[in-house]
Amino acid sequence: MIDAQWQHAERILCVRLDYLGDVLMSTPAVRALKESLPGSRITLLTSTGGAAVVRHVPEIDEVIDYAAPWMKSSHGHEARDDFDLIDRLAHRRFDAAVIFTVYSQSPLPAAMLCHLAGIPLRLAHCRENPYRLLTHWVRETEPHEQVRHEVRRQLDLVARIGAQASDERLSFRVSAVDLAWARARLLSLDIDLSRPWIVMHPGATAPSRRYPPEHWQAVARGLARELRCPLVFTGSGDETELVEKIRSDMPGTHSLAGQVDLGKLAALLSLAPLLISNNTGPVHVAAAVGTPIVDLYALTNPQHTPWQVPSRVLYQDVPCRYCYKSICPQGHHRCLSELAPERVIAAAKELL
């Protein structure tokens, strides 16, 4: 049963100031709020990168883009931006706020914004006593007492006020327009959707989460030799050069790097028999649309493995695991550099 103080909350602010994959991993908890508070309207406060996913998530009604100064996305931030945001939040007259964080983040800066904006109910995990900054404080137990998947962490948070989801899968709605584009584009590449083909995503925002290009090339050559199936590479415009380096002199491979937006990528993945990727946003998009994944998983964080989808999570165990760093602090990158391409090829063959 929903907490008595929350029963009449209609205007809900969900705060998730991270990136695309983090927003996707929060969608089951957002669904729990939407289902448990009938008639509620959900607004997401997030980064520019996180905001890109909102039009594909039916549980979210509105988005506010904010470069929080305590997050890595705060380039060009000025103090007046914070005061402007407080005014905007106060004007919306939210009934409640739910602050989603990973366990290495503090919710208190966001809680202060919500407090100053006059939002009467405020829920979050917090390590230290937040006193009046949170009206509903869930004591932080990670990582010393437990470590949960990121999705489970957020579901457990909203469960503290009685919110439950009937479906705990990630949320992503692929549009008919994007799906038609993906089918036509694959047809133009002479890819037969009734036969095996593979999407490969060799990029990642953080250098610590990138499988070495020469290993990617060995995987691509091995798959082409053993399976003789088409390989379709994806990536941002900035990753086009990386993709071309990997697939150079390899017939039967195709590049869509820099050619697809988020909606088209999701449509492409929804048709794919398999995705091979570094642990980055497309992994969570693939999980949301039900595509099997070979996840080349840098041991920077234990919480972000593919959620509720057939997968193989591959890495080389190292003593420095779970560093939470964007750049390998040891400089050796062993958790990925020592992952043999043969293991990746074998996992792909298993899932196909």
Query: What pLDDT does residue 175 have?
Result: 96
Query: What pLDDT does residue 208 have?
Result: 81
Tokens for 293? 């994944």
Which amino acid is present at 149?
H
Cis preceding-peptide flag for 207 (omega within 30 of 0): no
**Model-wide pTM > 0.85:** yes
Query: What pLDDT does residue 316 have?
Result: 86
Going residue by residue through the chain, which has 352 residues, state the pLDDT in tens, using 9 for 90 and above.
899 999 999 999 999 999 899 999 999 999 999 999 999 999 999 999 899 999 999 999 999 999 999 887 666 677 788 999 999 999 999 999 999 999 999 999 999 999 999 999 999 999 999 999 999 999 999 999 999 999 999 999 999 999 999 999 999 999 999 999 999 999 999 999 999 999 999 998 888 888 999 999 999 999 999 999 999 999 999 999 999 999 988 887 999 999 999 999 999 999 999 999 999 999 999 999 999 999 999 888 888 999 999 999 998 888 888 877 778 887 788 888 899 999 999 999 999 9
| 290: number of Cβ within 10 Å | 14
Domain positions in the chain are: 4-159, 176-351
Q: CA-to-CA distance for 95 and 334, rounded, in angstroms?
A: 48
Q: CA-to-CA distance for 277 and 285, rounded, in angstroms?
A: 11
Pairing of strands 96-99, 121-126: parallel
Query: What pLDDT does residue 8 have?
Result: 94
Query: What pLDDT does residue 73 have?
Result: 64
Query: What pLDDT does residue 7 have?
Result: 95
Identical fold, 4-159 and 176-351: yes
Query: What pLDDT does residue 332 have?
Result: 81
Q: Is 235 helix (H, G, I), strand (E, B) or coil?
A: coil
CATH superfamily of 176-351: Glycogen Phosphorylase B; (3.40.50.2000)
Q: CA-to-CA distance for 27 and 71, rounded, in angstroms?
A: 20
Q: CA-to-CA distance for 322 and 302, rounded, in angstroms?
A: 6
Domain 4-159 has CATH 3.40.50.2000: yes
Q: Is 322 helix (H, G, I), strand (E, B) or coil?
A: coil
Query: What pLDDT does residue 255 have?
Result: 94
Query: What pLDDT does residue 75 have?
Result: 67
Of 99, 146, 143, nearest in space to 123 by CA: 99
Which amino acid is present at 98?
V
